[in-house]
Chain A
């Protein structure tokens, strides 16, 4: 790959992820509203929200320290670095050498670390509660996430997402392995947990009994809130991208020609839209779980992912 594509491609990836993320959120909200027989806000509403928030000043608590003010940047930047590492439009990711999927998982952890700290920083009980619950959910989700990703990487021989995608595109029969099917199920449950959707967390609520992610970000305002909301919608998009381009990578471009990129982008949008629709269906079918039933669900995901690897090892 020549130098131009090495710079253009990551930039393009960043623009797609950063630009598309609020649209995904808007799309999910719109579909959900329609299915609930409401009109719903426009698909572009999250964009309007972000622009509005970016133009406002912020009110910061007196109790909070520099950690509170640094957190939005840390979260946003860590998600952007992940956006450079994930194959979005092309299976050849130029920033491949920077890191692999383990780095991605721990970069998510970096954002979460600072968010949880800033939730404790303001000294309000909502924040502490949100932080505690978020740490509980993410702690129980992390082994399942790791192991299901490891299943895929053991089946394809690399932990690097770009390599995984290109290997699966080349030899599609790898995908028909039942171990990968189990890994897909586990990954789906974990993505619901990490994205903060029902049945794990309710993204629309502001009641303290029910909020996890919303509780952590309650005190942010203005530009900070814009960055954090943008980062969380990018997180959902990135998780879906990992799911889509690992398990359904057909159509992804292998070379950097314009028509290939266009097709890849169109297919990408369709696939993400399909999974967003599935998320909405799941949201509408289940009620939010009681908070201490969530570890049970995530424990099931862990069992599924352990089984995925074991069956891969034993049966091959």
Chain B
């Protein structure tokens, strides 16, 4: 493989690992604002990665995905989340069902599972962008884990967004993106769901004075 291709692929790999580290920040931090900033940064890095992939491979519709990504995921959605947080004035602690050390260990285990299960695929593939598949699987799993283990609804939104990021990245790195229509559809889907969730969170806070999903269970009675 030529030197240039190796350099390119390694650059993308490093950015992928940066995204993984930001997802670990999502799991590890105890302040809500830090989590949202981590999400914004991760979306920015993802946009950078998709821009680089578009540049290296010359497939132009990925540029469109990059642009939409920047607009939505770096600017609109984090902005909207910050707006919601300011509006509902909650305690900005991340509360979770599992204590910190255990959740960190589980996160580590999930990343190990991601690496281990993609190992057999990686053995056969050529050298290009090898870290992307395990990293995207790991981000998806971590997002799911965040959704399971956190109490506040806002953090569950962030988990869902992480899952979407992971899946988008997986599609991007292995097959250079899904057809443009599908991608745009997913983007707008996400946008709408975040807006709806945000509005509901606001409403729930107004009505019940808490957005702790644990106490929301009382509703079923």
Contact = CB atoms under 8 A, between A and B. Distances in A.
Q: Classify the secondary structure of A's interface with B.
A: helix
Contact of A306 (B108, B116, B119): B108
A316 B104 contact: no
7 contacts: A178-B14, A179-B17, A182-B17, A185-B21, A296-B100, A304-B21, A314-B115
Contacts of A176: 6-7, 10-11, 13-14
Interface in A270-316: 296, 299-300, 303-304, 306-307, 310-311, 314-316
B108 A178 contact: no
B74 interface: no
Interface in B127-158: 130-131, 134
Contacts of B197: none
B28 interface: yes
B28 A315 contact: no
A316 B122 CA distance: 10
Contact of B104 (A181, A299, A310): A299
Contact of B21 (A182, A299, A314): A182
Interface size class of A (residues with CB under 8 A): 20 to 34
A296 B24 contact: no
B10 A314 contact: no
B11 A296 contact: no
A54 B134 CA distance: 57
Q: Classify the secondary structure of B's interface with A.
A: helix
Given A178-B10, A311-B115, A316 B28 contact: no
A304 B24 CA distance: 9
A300 B20 CA distance: 13
Contact of B130 (A300, A310, A315): A315
A165 to B, nearest CB: 20
A311 B112 CA distance: 9
A151 B104 CA distance: 21
Rank and list the top 8 A-B pairs by shortest CB-CB distance, nearest first. A176-B10, A178-B17, A178-B13, A314-B115, A303-B108, A315-B130, A178-B14, A314-B119
Given A178-B16, A300-B28, A300-B104, A315 B122 contact: yes
A98 interface: no
Interface in B69-101: 100-101
B54 interface: no
A232 B100 CA distance: 32
Contacts of A316: 130
A177 interface: yes
